[in-house]
Amino acid sequence: MKTVSAQQLAKVFVEIADTLVDEFDLLDYMHMLTERVVELTDAAAAGMLLADQRGRLEFIAGSDENVKLVELFQLQNEQGPCLEAFDSGEPVVNVNLGEAGARWPRFAPRAAAAGFQSVHAFPMRLRRQVIGALNVFGDTSGNDFQDDDIAIMQALADAATIGLLQERTVRRSEALTEQLQAALNSRVIIEQAKGAVAQARGISVDEAFTAIRGYARRHNRRLTEIAQSIVTDPETLQQIFPQ
Amino acid sequence: MDDRVAMIRHLIEGEPPPPDNGAGLLPRVCAVAARTLAASGAGISMMSEAGARGVYAASDPLTEHIEELQFVLGEGPCWDAFSTRRPVLVPNLDGESAARWPMYTPAAHDSGIRAVFSFPLQMGAARLGILDIFRQRTGSLTGDELATALAFADVTITALLDQHENAAVNSSGEGLAEAVEYRAELFQAQGMVMVQLGVPIGEAMARMRAYAYAHGRRLDQVAADVLARRLHFDRDRP
């Protein structure tokens, strides 16, 4: 991990604490967080998984959403570092993927084939409950997290958990379920929108995601909102992504 | 398949149709949901983006009346669950909920209701309605009850999407469309089929499921073929 300046870190923490704005959007927030993790650590990719009501880990957001990476995130409801961090409540760090074949026979070879060398996972904890995990992939060797880095990454994961709950609703025990279900459904909307744009434009779903996210950013709109318009309103799809 | 969904389907299959409430599946879903969740009643309302809405099924006549209250008064947990696309869980209809729903809270309270749990019937952007669970005592749903309630919502969505009510129960055999996890690829394919057919997003899933059923294939295989552009749903052909 590259050395993080205190100033840079403080900026990120202020950004992720800022969840009380009116335009707060959970999916945008999760995407922002995974991107900051990549910037801070020089990682190749980062992603976030949350547990649904059945206790299964579901992919929520990635710094990058190419098909191979999404598959790696999804696979971790069966095996892998996120499942271990989720079950134990402890970080899983500095695992060399080339040596993890026995530990994760399906996950490790696929992650290595996708070009990654190392993997890490940090539990998202709320009191005694673990609600998900933050996943980090590295593509260079000798870039291990040191003790200080691990503490910083865990603090980021904890801050993300609090952000997820939004302070105004955190006192209600029902708020967690309501937020998680909304996040999982927003994730589905984004997948539906990827497919719609891929079909309309004759491009891959990876390219479709890049196009949707690019449009949302250029127009300063929320990702979920754009995705929803694409899927529910054929005219929006035509306007935004003419064939 | 999710064990919970299988268990719920089994219970619904064994449920006799309620008297005077038609032979449809959804009244039975409500009756089984109310019993399984130790609730006083359960109701399903259809709500569309265009504004059409109303009670579709309820476990009993009193619950049907309570379910209708929200539409009569124009406010309540089901409205909020629909508009925010998330469950609205109210374990105690008290002062706090009276501030949120000033007309609905006392009306539901007068009918003996002390807790309401509203679950959106939705699949991503496809919104069909709401499943409401009512209790005459205060208190949260346990984690297990929440998971069960969400599974009831899943079963109801499947039945509504298939547009013929018994499909959700009858097509539960192994290896058929049900034995699939909802994953990114499935929803991406749904978006593609929506554009291919020029139909609403909910109907796209119904068409994929119908295709899988008719060809004896798994839904995830059909989705993979759509994504790989080996299978194309044609506007002119059903």
Domain boundaries, chain B: 3-170, 174-238
B183 in A contact zone (CB under 8 Å): yes
Beta strands A92-96; A57-62: pairing state: unpaired
- Count CA atoms within 13 Å of residue B39 on its CB side: 33
Whether A238 has its CB under 8 Å from any CB of chain B: the answer is no
Bridge partners of A51, per DSSP, are A57
Q: What's the confidence (pLDDT) of residue A82?
A: 97
Using the predicted structure, report yes or no on whether residue B173 has a pLDDT greater than 50: no
> Tell me, what's the pLDDT at A168?
46
Cβ–Cβ gap A192/B190 under 8 Å? yes
Q: How far is it, in rounded angstroms, from Cα B191 to Cα B201?
A: 7
pLDDT of residue B109: 94
| % residues pLDDT > 90 (chain A) | 50
Residues forming beta bridges with residue A130, ordered by sequence position: A125
Is residue A92 predicted with pLDDT exceeding 50? yes
Judge whether residue B169 has pLDDT over 60.
no
- A18 or B136, which is more confident: B136
pLDDT tens digits, B51-71:
667 888 899 999 999 999 998
- Arithmetic mean of pLDDT over chain A: 87
Its sign, for the CA torsion A142, A147, A153, A154, is: positive
More confident residue, A9 or B52: A9
Over the stretch A202-226, which tens digit does the pLDDT of each residue have?
999 999 999 999 999 899 899 999 9
Sheet containing A92-96: give its strands across: A57-62, A45-51, A129-138, A118-126, A92-96
| Region B94-114 average pLDDT | 92
ipTM value: 0.79
How close is the nearest chain A Cα to the Cα of B206, in Å?
Answer: 14
Question: Is the CB of B196 less than 8 angstroms away from the CB of A177?
Answer: no
Contact at CB, A227 and B143, closer than 8 angstroms: no
pLDDT tens for B16-46 read 876 655 557 888 999 999 999 999 999 999 8
Residue B176, pLDDT > 50, answer: no
State how beta strands A92-96 and A118-126 pair. antiparallel
Residue A5 has pLDDT above 70, yes or no: yes
Contact B191 A196 (CB under 8 A): yes
Residue of A nearest to B146 (CA): A53
> Which of B89, B90, B120 has the CB atom closest to A177's CB atom?
B89
Cα–Cα distance measured from residue A202 to residue A76, given in angstroms and rounded to the nearest whole number: 30
- What residues does A135 pair with on adjacent strands? A47, A121
For the stretch B169-206, what's the b/e string if a residue is b when 16 or more beta carbons lie within 10 angstroms of its beta carbon?
bebbeeebbbebebbbbbbbbbbbbbbbbebbbbbbbb
CB contact under 8 A, A227 and B146: no
Q: What is the pLDDT of residues B133-153, one digit of tens each?
A: 999 999 999 988 999 999 999
Domain B3-170 - what CATH class?
Answer: alpha beta
Among A53, A68, A209, the residue to mutate for chain B (most B Cβ within 10 A): A53
Q: pLDDT at residue B114 above 80?
A: yes
* B2, pLDDT greater than 70: no
The average confidence (pLDDT) of chain B is 85
Q: Where does the pLDDT of residue B213 fall: very low under 50, low under 70, confident under 90, or very high at 90 and above?
A: confident
CA atoms of B25 and B162, how far apart (whole Å)? 12
Report CA-CA distances (Å) from B170 to B10, B162, B173, B224.
10, 11, 8, 24
pLDDT tens per residue, range A122-179 = 999 887 789 899 999 998 876 688 888 899 899 889 888 877 776 445 456 677 788 8
Q: Does residue A4 surpass a pLDDT of 90?
A: no
A166: CB partners within 8 A, 6+ apart: A19, A20, A24, A175, A179
B24 at interface of A, judged by CB pairs closer than 8 A: no
Task: List the single range of A76-90, A162-176, A209-223, B94-108 with lowest mean pLDDT.
Answer: A162-176
